[in-house]
Amino acid sequence: MKLARVVAQVVSTQKHPFYKGQKTFMVRHVDLEGREEGSPYVAVDRVQAGVGDLILLLQEGSSSRTMFNEPEAPVRSTIVGIVDHVELEP
């Protein structure tokens, strides 16, 4: 999993059946200082995240499908946690 931030909400009506009823966001990876890196992904939200939240991002297809219990869901990125704070031990 990766540390990431929610940067926008993504609304779509014409979509694959799996995505009906799912909330989707655009997310960007962040480093441990919270600086955004790379280009954004679209992720399905499972924890009522909001724009601006620091999140735990799962980006693995079979884990996501197991979680949704849908063997043929075209999903890879899923928001699985909202991060309160990160503690680095020196």
Partner 1 sequence: MIPGKVIGRLVASQRLDAFKGVKFLLVQPIDERSEAVGKPLVACDAIGANVGDRVFMAQGREATFPLPDKFNPADLTIVAIVDEIS
Q: Kindly state whether residue 72 participates in binding partner 1, applying the rule CB under 8 A.
A: yes
Residue 9 binding partner 1, by CB under 8 A = yes
Handedness of CA 1, 89, 53, 30 (dihedral sign): negative
Which tokens sit at 79?
């928001």
Residue whose CB is less far from partner 1, 13 or 69: 13
| Smallest separation (angstroms) from partner 1 to the CB of 7 | 5
Task: Give CA–CA dist 83/57, Å, rounded.
Answer: 10
Q: Does 81 bind partner 1 (CB under 8 A)?
A: no
Please identify which residue in the block is written with the tokens 């899923």: 78
Residue 80 in contact with partner 1, rule: CB under 8 A? no
Which residues inside 33-62 make contact with partner 1, applying CB under 8 A? 39-43, 61
Is the C-alpha dihedral spanning 32, 35, 41, 45 positive or negative? Answer: positive
Q: What's the min distance (Å) between Cβ of 33 and partner 1?
A: 20
